[in-house]
Amino acid sequence: MDPSFELNHYPQPKENLLRKIAKKLKKTSPVLRVFIFLLVLLICFGCYAAWYTYRILRPADLFTTPNISEASAAPEEQKELTAGDYFEEKMVNIVLLGFDVDAERRRLSLGSRTDTIKIISVNFDRDKISIIDVPRDSYVKIADTPTYDKINSAYYYGYINAKDKLRHENGVEYALKSISNLLGGIPLHYYVTVDMDAVVELVDSVGGIKFNVPYDVIDKDGVLQIPKGEQILDGEKYLHYLRNREVGGDIGRMQRQTELLLATLDHFRREGLIKNIPVLYEAYQELIDTNLSNQQIIALAVYAGRMQKENIVSYTLSGSGQSRDGVYYMVLDTEKIAQVMEEVFAVPYTPPEPQRLTDTTPVAPKGFAASFSEAGEQRGVKLTWSKGDKYNLSFRLYRSTPGGSEVKLAELTGTSYFDIDLEPGITYNYRLEAVNHRAVSAPVNISITVPESFSRPDREQGPEPTEPAEPQAPAPPASEEPEEPAAPAGESDPSGFEEPQAFEPPLPEREAGLAPSGNPETSAGERENFPEPEDSDGSLIIEIS
């Protein structure tokens, strides 16, 4: 077929509309062309501004992707929202994490401790903002591990176990999942992390924050840092107020942080600074991280700025202070959690049974041995042993005779004892147990008979001395109900982590070569070093391992 046939017998396309307009514009004056161009540009900009404003003033639309099939369905065909759908379409939960990285942890690359944890829940359906404060010492199951620990350690677990992910992102993921574990598994998709060092620069960059300080803020040395009354807080004072725990402990500190956060929002709204939030974020990206977009940040700030104060409600989770292996924890009140779940998320929640923390039962001491000696001044029974495990913090030694009552000889941290209060020809039974705070190991026992030729030396009995002799201080008794310390253990290193069966991250103190808190080891200078018992000079040696 002739190709020209096809070209000649099909209708030819009409001239392009834009070309027609361009030809007509060429015939107009230059001034008119400039005016038309500016008018078109203004219309385009106005349309974009209207669309952008519409998006900003409807923040709920920025957090969901509408389902086309559901949107086009008739009202009677739309299904009832499930709990998951409700969270996706009606609520936004944002976790605010404030990190406090001291110089030592930064030097050793040990990651951050989460000093502040707040859940900001925005309910677009009920036009309500809820702020939930989570104590940093809360006892919780760490996500993706079998371990229970403090909630402020969750980020660290993720940080050190990052394999194919970046450490920070993995730490945040562990933190969000662990916080969700506390609240019955509610979804937490968004986060904002702030290095507390950034607070000083951020506050100073906006000229300070106006705030009515409710009381004189005095530091631990008794020095007045911030006087009572309304004032402009600069960055240093702002940060000091955030960290202060002298009044109300950690719970009081969290509540004051929320008050200061709301005052900061008021200040930004009053001074017209909300529009500057994306600029501040860009300037301090090294100290602030979030997975919220600029549009979402501005939309939420505008939404919160228009919110009436009575529609912003704060909640503080609380519980009882308990200890495990010498480490302080906050065991949250499950009834309080159920109340928050109902009021904030409208989700029925059956609280689990309240937890009661116990100490790890230590392994019994090993190599418990007794030997009798009349050599020189050391005449008596020498008892030696070694630690069964790291939970052997101290030892209790008892003695009895056949038909007699048992007496406690000593409670000590060393691994030896020299008994001289003996009678010739008597058989003595010794019982030894390891102590880990309130937990006690199974006992180990040994018996030895004193020779008839024994003569009692003229000196006090006790732990066998080294050169020079140093008395051993007894271990302090552990209270059944430990009180919350003035400075909760969020300030201490997470050295009391439960030893998991299949997951055991290296602790910061172990990596740094530091002695774990709550698990004091007897130093080389404190241990009593004796030679192995020898079968000589008529000495009687009995050893039970």
Q: What pLDDT is attached to residue 446?
A: 97
* Strand extents, DSSP E, 76-112: 91-100
Q: What is the spatial distance between Cα 204 and Cα 47, in angstroms, rounded to a whole number? A: 37
Contact 208, 233 (CB under 8 A): yes
My answer on whether omega of the bond before 443 falls inside 30° of 0, hence cis, is no
Q: For the domain bounded by 366-477, which CATH number is listed?
A: 2.60.40.10
pLDDT in tens, 81-126: 444 454 556 789 999 999 876 555 555 555 677 889 999 999 988 8
pTM, two decimals, is: 0.66
Helix, coil or strand: residue 280: helix
Closest by alpha carbon to 176, among 193, 198, 191?
A: 191
H or E element that contains 117: strand 113-123
Instruction: List the structure tokens of 230.
Output: 């309304």
Q: What pLDDT is attached to residue 353?
A: 86
Burial of 69 (0-12, 13-18, 19+ CB in 10 A): exposed
Q: What pLDDT is attached to residue 282?
A: 78
Q: What pLDDT is attached to residue 189?
A: 86
Q: Where in the chain are the domains?
A: 3-57, 83-345, 366-477
CATH topology of domain 83-345: Aminopeptidase (3.40.630)
The low-confidence residues of the chain, meaning pLDDT below 70, are 1-89, 101-111, 374-378, 455-545
Going across the sheet that includes 416-419, the strands are 416-419, 380-386, 366-373, 541-544
* Strand extents, DSSP E, 374-424: 380-386, 394-400, 407-412, 416-419
Cα of 196 vs its chain's centroid, Å: 15
Q: What is the spatial distance between Cα 325 and Cα 487, in angstroms, rounded to a whole number? A: 18
